[in-house]
Amino acid sequence: MSTYRAEYIWIDGSIPTPKLRSKTMIVNSDKDMPTYDDLPIWGFDGSSTNQAMGSASDCVLRPVFSCPDPIRERDSLLVMTEVLNTDLSPHRSNTRAACAEAAARYADQEFIFGIEQEYTFFKGMRPLGFPDHGFPAPQGGYYCGVGADEVFGRPAVEEHLQRCLDAGLDISGINAEVMPGQWEFQIGPTPALDVSDQLWVARWLLYRVGEHHDVNATLYPKPARGDWNGAGAHTNFSTKTMRSDYQACVDAAEALGTRHELHIANYGFAIEERLTGLHETCSYREFRYGVSDRGASIRIPWQVEKAQKGYIEDRRPNANMDPYVVTRLIMETVCGAMAAKA
Ligand code: ADP
Ligand code: MN
Ligand code: MN
Ligand code: MN
């Protein structure tokens, strides 16, 4: 019998953008390393997280994904959970349940997603690298930069990368972004529920690692007003057919145009602050797709056109989007259009 520390993580009911919460359960198990399906459901006080009234405050946590805890290391694990009502139906804040349904319905398409998570470190009230008064040099040298005058927060970024790898997440890369203090990591490509569960855990690790470096990460889509880039979560995806057929890639881009407003409305709070049309990606009022076009809503990478197969990039989602919602909508919209065509 061993004793484990299981960190149960959940998404709360904060408005307009939910936050992550977590608490620790001590678990005794005779397993070598328990995983989420060995772990019990748990509860929490929903009246403290905008998920319940004080008079009926209990909400339920059901484990859905787990990995080794790279912060505590020995005998510990991180557990992503979904929130249920006490009758075990999905709570109104639970967006995973609908994503799971869509993933099951369209399983034959073999969707995979790669999400580019941009974020911005803050120190106090200002982005890391912004002086106390005035502004840093204009954007130009920061993206993928090197040197103490170009990058801010690298120790935290490196630690986050290492912890994601230690946790066994499918992290596929990192880079410094266009605005000082702004960075990106990518998760995937992997199916909708995997990429989403892992992205939420990677976000939790980002905040947690920030505690070690006295910086806090924000996913706010427009963290500095003016001529500074926003923060997005470009969502790359493919179906089995797209991975072997270019026309299917074009069809998927066309399909996304048929429900543009619905997607924009569900791609993260304050998307109109970020998609102004002035910084990469066109205005939220417009929809277009194109090869290599970073000004488009949907980009078809040049290698995909060349190889005549592959994937496409939905550039519209904000950094603060919910991956359960974004991947579900993409599956429903792309498959809905296919069904209509057939
Ligand atoms: P960008 O040039 O837009 O910055 P990145 O290298 O940051 O591109 O991200 C590209 C993403 O595309 C990665 O997350 C990767 O996992 C994903 N990707 C690559 N191939 C596929 C594919 N066939 N299906 C879905 N996603 C894919
Ligand atoms: Mn990228
Ligand atoms: Mn980027
Ligand atoms: Mn991109």
pLDDT digits over 201-238, tens only?
999 999 999 999 999 999 999 999 999 999 999 999 99
Q: How confident is the model at residue 305 (pLDDT cuts 50, 70, 90)?
A: very high
Mark 154-186 as b/e (b = at least 16 C-beta within 10 Å). eebbebbbebbeebebbbeebebbbbbbbbbbb
- Whether 44 and 154 map to the same domain: the answer is no
How many structural domains comprise the chain?
2
Bridging pattern class, strands 20-29 and 2-11: antiparallel
Give dist(CA 328, CA 192) in Å, integer: 8
| Domain identity same for 192 and 316 | yes
Let me know if residue 34 belongs to a domain: yes
Residues 255, 322 contacting (CB under 8 angstroms): no
In a domain, 295, yes or no: yes
Domain end, chosen from 63, 92, 121, is at 92
Residue 282 CA to ligand 3 centre (angstroms):
15
* Domain end residue (candidates: 92, 123, 140): 92
Please tell me the pTM assigned to this model.
0.98
- Residue 113 C-alpha to ligand 2 middle, in angstroms? 13
**Residue 63 structural domain:** 2-92
Q: In the prediction, which pLDDT does 342 show?
A: 72
Query: What is the domain-level CATH number for residue 129?
Result: 3.30.590.10
CB 301 within 8 A of CB 292: yes
User: Is the pLDDT at 161 greater than 90, yes or no?
Assistant: yes
Same domain, 231 and 326: yes
Is residue 98 domain-resident? Answer: no
Residues 46-76 pLDDT 10s: 999 999 998 889 999 999 999 999 999 999 9
Report which bound ligand comes closest to the CA of 179. 3
Q: Are residues 256 and 308 in the same domain?
A: yes
Pocket, ligand 1, Cβ cutoff 6 A: 112-114, 116, 172-173, 186, 188-189, 234, 236-238, 243, 310-311, 313
